[in-house]
């Protein structure tokens, strides 16, 4: 896509954090933005950012039947969508043994099923026009893991796999797909947006409690700047050859490189065992 072209963005979760930062940057660059919100107050506040170019949609991404009509309304009454940004999501903190299956279902309902429902509703329009870009905000936590975030990591690993596969399916149709993987940014993710499960099993105190305390202390002091992340995403969607993956932040680069190095070493150490499982000849 040309950097000079005015684009129409559809961004989920524009009330705060990455979604709001990206919406503000896109509007400042002259683009149009439709964004999902979950309250009338946020609806009014968002549309006041740029009357006529900012369109708020009262939509919960877990309300699957409401998604297709909402997308149709954007297409018919606002603008043909050029860029879908699946940003809505949250983190659920707790050890896997201490969390419930209901917690897992809710985490996937928002972070995975909601994103896929949005993709399925938008894709027919992008396919018809043979153009467009789908940006799925995953996380460095879709590649690396930390104790106490298993359900969150599971949802982001799932979205990573879906994004990469989708990109291969729609590339020849003129549609690009990118998974954006932020590190630690100064959003509400580790603060009021984080669901923190109660502790009940002392055996996990040593491995988990220090990490929970560190996340709480560092909330609001992370190294990443959401405004700079927004500019990076604008550069991404303007690129004629966007990547399948885009890491954001020095910490994301360092931790993912460390993970890839450890994986490479593990593959080498167990290579002969891996090779021993094939039929002879």
Q: Are 224 and 253 in contact (CB under 8 A)?
A: no
Q: Among this protein's residues, is 152 annotated catalytic?
A: yes
Rounded-to-integer distance, Cα 266 and Cα 263, Å: 5
Burial class (CB in 10 A: 0-12, 13-18, 19+), 135: buried
3-state secondary structure of 210: helix
Rounded-to-integer distance, Cα 92 and Cα 112, Å: 14
The string of DSSP codes covering 88-119 is ----EEB-TTTS-HHHHHHHHIIIIIHHHHHH
DSSP β-bridge partners for residue 181:
247
Which is nearest to 71 in space by CA: 5, 8, 156?
8
Q: Considering 90, 125, 152, 204, which one is annotated as catalytic?
A: 152
Q: Are 23 and 35 in contact (CB under 8 A)?
A: yes
Rounded-to-integer distance, Cα 143 and Cα 187, Å: 20
Q: Looking at residue 185, what DSSP letter applies? A: B
Q: Which residues are catalytic?
A: 152
């Amino acid at each position: 896509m040309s950097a000079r072209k005015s684009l129409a963005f559809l961004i989920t979760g524009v009330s705060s954090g990455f979604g709001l930062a990206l919406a503000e940057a896109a509007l400042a660059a002259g683009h149009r933005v439709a964004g999902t919100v979950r309250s009338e107050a946020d609806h009014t506040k968002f549309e006041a950012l740029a009357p006529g170019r900012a369109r708020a949609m009262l939509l919960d991404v877990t309300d699957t039947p409401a998604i297709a009509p909402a997308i149709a309304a954007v297409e018919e009454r606002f603008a043909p969508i050029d860029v879908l940004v699946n940003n809505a999501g949250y983190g659920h903190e707790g050890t896997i043994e201490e969390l419930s299956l209901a917690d897992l279902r809710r985490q996937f309902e928002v972070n995975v099923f909601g994103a896929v429902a949005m993709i399925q509703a938008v894709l027919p329009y992008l396919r018809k026009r043979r153009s467009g870009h789908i940006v799925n905000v995953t996380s460095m936590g879709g590649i690396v893991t930390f104790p106490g975030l298993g359900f969150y990591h599971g949802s982001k690993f799932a979205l990573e796999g879906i994004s990469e596969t989708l990109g291969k399916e729609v590339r020849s149709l003129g549609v690009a797909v990118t998974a954006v993987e932020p590190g630690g940014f100064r959003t509400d993710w580790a603060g009021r947006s984080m669901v923190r499960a109660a502790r009940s099993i002392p055996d996990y105190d040593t491995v988990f409690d220090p990490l929970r305390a560190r996340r709480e202390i560092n909330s609001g002091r992370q190294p990443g700047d959401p405004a700079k992340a927004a500019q990076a995403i604008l550069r991404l969607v303007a690129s004629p050859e966007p990547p399948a993956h885009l890491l954001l932040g020095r910490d994301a680069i360092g931790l993912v490189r460390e993970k890839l190095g450890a994986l490479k070493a593990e593959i080498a150490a167990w290579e002969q065992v891996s090779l021993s499982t094939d039929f002879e000849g």
